[in-house]
């Protein structure tokens, strides 16, 4: 082996191993800027089980203290138990449903969310999806591109946003930002949350079915957990009604997706704007032909500003961890 190769191998072994799942969208930048700090173990690039991947990389599982990840790849209890020295998981998402938090708690593993403050970006997407569904912008665009100059006029009839009754499911940072934007359009707001907010004037509903019954639009902004999984089921959709619209910028599992597809195809609800899906990256193909549905590839927080912030927060979290251990 050449001297230079031996030197590089030695340097590579001395770098801190960083296990990467996903990968996060920021990873190419992170790798380029931190190649002198970490040995990147790109588990996302291998189809092999983790133990086999690490064996091939000649890495002792007990040497791994940190994981960088995103929701594209789960950090399961099995993964956590296999890495006895794991002490920090940095995810570039706001949500943590891809990480087994119970197992993390058992092993005193820190979970750091490095998504940054993207509430405004996600709220903008929610409003954009709603406007698109109501005004049939994407459907009209497809029609124009397909039919060209010979198209008939006034084919698509939209619905005005002003005056709509909007139910927010999850009035946290994102839900509040959505409400502020929609109030400017003349919408009336109401909400469901884990508990009633003391200083919020919007009507509070402890029951999502009742919220849907009094709403023209439901916007889902809450985290996904065992309590919120399928919080929007068929009963909620039927309560929302044939003219009702659902916008989901939270997590796909908040909606019973099979029932959603059926209700949309049967005309039981009026439309949907979806940035997230229950079994990502799989999207139900039945939705592709529906003009009352607008689809987005989990992109609500993907602005250049938010990605820059996410990179900085991820780098800082790992730097602070390794400098203190």
Catalytic residue ranges? 251, 280, 298
CA distance 9 to 4: 9
Helices (H), 241-325: 257-265, 304-323
- What is the CB neighbour count within 10 angstroms for residue 25? 17
Q: Taking the CB of residue 225, how many other CB atoms lie within 10 A of it?
A: 15
Q: What is the secondary structure of 161-213 as a DSSP string? A: -TT-EEEEE--SHHHHHHHHHHHHTT-EEEEE-SS--TT--SPB-S-HHHHHH
Which residues pair with residue 246 across a beta bridge?
Answer: 218, 272
Nearest one of 128, 124, 133, 77 to 272, comparing CA atoms: 133
The string of DSSP codes covering 24-80 is -TTHHHHHHHHTTTEEEEEGGG--S-HHHHHHHTT--GGG--EEEE-TTS-B-HHHH
Is there a contact between 196 and 145 (Cβ–Cβ < 8 Å)? no
Instruction: Give the C-alpha separation, 319 to 325, whole Å.
Output: 10
* Rounded Cα–Cα distance for residues 301 and 307 (Å): 8
Using CA atoms of 146, 150, 153, 158 in order, give the dihedral in degrees to the nearest 10: 0
């Amino acid at each position: 082996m050449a001297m230079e190769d031996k030197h590089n191998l030695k340097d590579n072994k001395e770098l801190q191993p960083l296990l990467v799942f996903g990968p996060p969208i920021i990873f190419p930048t992170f790798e380029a800027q931190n190649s002198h700090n970490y040995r990147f173990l790109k588990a996302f690039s291998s189809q092999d089980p983790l133990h086999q991947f690490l064996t091939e990389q000649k890495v002792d599982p007990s040497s791994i203290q940190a994981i960088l990840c995103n929701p594209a790849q789960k950090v399961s209890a099995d993964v956590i138990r296999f890495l006895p020295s794991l002490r920090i998981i940095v995810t570039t998402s706001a949500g943590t449903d891809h990480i087994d938090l119970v197992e993390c708690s058992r092993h005193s593993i820190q979970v750091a969310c490095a998504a940054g403050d993207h509430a405004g970006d996600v709220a903008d997407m929610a409003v954009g999806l709603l406007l698109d569904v109501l005004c049939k912008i994407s459907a009209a665009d497809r029609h124009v591109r397909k039919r060209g100059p010979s198209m008939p006029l006034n084919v698509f009839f939209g619905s005005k946003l002003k005056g709509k009754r909007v139910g927010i499911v999850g009035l946290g940072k994102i839900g509040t930002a959505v409400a502020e934007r929609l109030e400017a359009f003349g919408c009336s707001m109401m909400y469901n949350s884990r508990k009633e907010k003391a200083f919020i004037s919007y009507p509070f509903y402890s029951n999502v079915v009742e919220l849907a019954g009094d709403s023209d639009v439901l916007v889902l902004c809450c985290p996904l957990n065992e309590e919120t999984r399928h919080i929007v089921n068929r009963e909620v959709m039927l309560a929302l009604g044939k003219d009702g619209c659902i916008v989901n910028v939270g997590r796909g599992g908040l909606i019973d997706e099979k029932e959603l597809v059926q209700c949309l195809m049967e005309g039981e609800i009026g439309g949907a704007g979806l940035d997230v899906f229950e079994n990502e990256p799989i999207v139900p193909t039945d939705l592709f032909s529906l003009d009352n549905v607008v689809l987005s590839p989990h992109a609500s927080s993907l602005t250049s500003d938010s990605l820059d912030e996410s990179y900085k927060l991820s780098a800082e979290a790992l730097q602070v961890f390794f400098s203190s251990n």
